[in-house]
Amino acid sequence: MSVTIKLSTEADRERIRRLAELDSKPAPDGDVLVAEVNGRLVAAMGMDGGVVADPFERTASVVKVLRSQVEGEPRRARRRRRWLSRPVAAG
Protein backbone atom coordinates (compact mmCIF):
# COMPACT_ATOMS: atom_id res chain seq x y z
CA MET A 1 0.00 0.00 0.00
CA SER A 2 1.38 3.37 -1.02
CA VAL A 3 0.16 6.42 0.94
CA THR A 4 0.77 9.95 -0.32
CA ILE A 5 0.14 13.03 1.85
CA LYS A 6 0.12 16.36 0.04
CA LEU A 7 -1.30 19.85 0.13
CA SER A 8 -4.33 20.00 -2.13
CA THR A 9 -4.44 22.06 -5.30
CA GLU A 10 -7.35 23.60 -7.14
CA ALA A 11 -7.47 20.41 -9.21
CA ASP A 12 -8.30 18.42 -6.02
CA ARG A 13 -11.32 20.55 -5.00
CA GLU A 14 -13.89 18.46 -6.87
CA ARG A 15 -12.45 15.20 -5.51
CA ILE A 16 -12.58 16.62 -1.97
CA ARG A 17 -16.17 17.76 -2.50
CA ARG A 18 -17.19 14.26 -3.67
CA LEU A 19 -15.41 12.67 -0.70
CA ALA A 20 -17.22 15.05 1.68
CA GLU A 21 -20.53 14.14 0.09
CA LEU A 22 -19.75 10.44 0.51
CA ASP A 23 -18.89 11.09 4.19
CA SER A 24 -22.02 13.27 4.68
CA LYS A 25 -19.89 16.14 6.00
CA PRO A 26 -19.03 19.60 4.71
CA ALA A 27 -15.86 19.80 2.63
CA PRO A 28 -12.91 21.47 4.39
CA ASP A 29 -12.22 25.04 3.25
CA GLY A 30 -8.95 26.80 2.58
CA ASP A 31 -5.68 24.86 2.68
CA VAL A 32 -6.39 21.13 2.82
CA LEU A 33 -4.06 18.17 3.27
CA VAL A 34 -5.14 15.12 1.32
CA ALA A 35 -4.23 11.47 1.72
CA GLU A 36 -4.17 9.17 -1.26
CA VAL A 37 -3.76 5.41 -1.09
CA ASN A 38 -2.45 3.98 -4.33
CA GLY A 39 -3.49 7.22 -6.05
CA ARG A 40 -7.07 7.18 -4.70
CA LEU A 41 -8.23 10.00 -2.39
CA VAL A 42 -9.30 8.47 0.94
CA ALA A 43 -9.14 11.39 3.41
CA ALA A 44 -8.78 15.16 3.57
CA MET A 45 -8.20 17.51 6.50
CA GLY A 46 -8.49 21.26 6.66
CA MET A 47 -6.04 23.31 8.70
CA ASP A 48 -8.87 23.89 11.19
CA GLY A 49 -8.95 20.12 11.88
CA GLY A 50 -12.12 19.33 9.91
CA VAL A 51 -11.85 15.85 8.37
CA VAL A 52 -13.64 13.99 5.63
CA ALA A 53 -12.80 10.37 4.90
CA ASP A 54 -14.07 7.49 2.81
CA PRO A 55 -16.54 5.66 5.08
CA PHE A 56 -16.06 2.45 3.10
CA GLU A 57 -12.31 2.25 3.72
CA ARG A 58 -10.20 1.82 6.84
CA THR A 59 -8.88 5.36 7.21
CA ALA A 60 -8.19 5.81 10.93
CA SER A 61 -4.42 5.45 10.57
CA VAL A 62 -4.31 7.77 7.56
CA VAL A 63 -6.39 10.39 9.40
CA LYS A 64 -4.01 10.07 12.36
CA VAL A 65 -1.08 10.91 10.07
CA LEU A 66 -2.98 13.86 8.59
CA ARG A 67 -3.79 15.13 12.08
CA SER A 68 -0.14 14.90 13.17
CA GLN A 69 0.89 16.88 10.09
CA VAL A 70 -1.73 19.59 10.63
CA GLU A 71 -0.85 19.87 14.32
CA GLY A 72 2.84 20.05 13.43
CA GLU A 73 3.96 17.07 15.48
CA PRO A 74 6.37 14.88 13.53
CA ARG A 75 5.84 11.12 13.83
CA ARG A 76 9.44 10.61 14.98
CA ALA A 77 8.99 12.99 17.94
CA ARG A 78 5.75 11.30 18.96
CA ARG A 79 7.40 7.88 18.82
CA ARG A 80 10.34 9.10 20.90
CA ARG A 81 8.04 10.51 23.58
CA ARG A 82 6.19 7.18 23.83
CA TRP A 83 9.50 5.35 24.19
CA LEU A 84 10.58 7.69 27.00
CA SER A 85 7.36 7.05 28.92
CA ARG A 86 7.70 3.25 28.94
CA PRO A 87 8.46 1.68 32.30
CA VAL A 88 11.89 0.12 32.51
CA ALA A 89 12.34 -3.14 34.42
CA ALA A 90 14.96 -2.93 37.14
CA GLY A 91 17.23 -5.85 37.03
Max CA separation in the chain (angstroms)? 59
Please give the residue range of the domain that contains residue 49: 3-84
Predicted pLDDT at 9? 92
Contacts 24+ apart (CB under 8 A), 60-66: 62/3, 62/35, 62/37, 63/35, 65/3, 65/5, 65/35, 66/5, 66/33, 66/35
In a domain, 63, yes or no: yes
In a domain, 89, yes or no: no
In a domain, 39, yes or no: yes
Predicted pLDDT at 85? 46
What CATH code is carried by the domain that includes residue 78? 3.40.630.30
In a domain, 37, yes or no: yes
The amino acid at residue 22 is L
Q: Which pLDDT band holds residue 74 (cuts at 50, 70, 90)?
A: low
More confident residue, 74 or 27: 27
pTM of the predicted structure, to 2 decimals = 0.75
In a domain, 91, yes or no: no
Number of domains the chain contains: 1
Q: Of all residues in the chain, what percent carry a pLDDT higher than 70?
A: 79
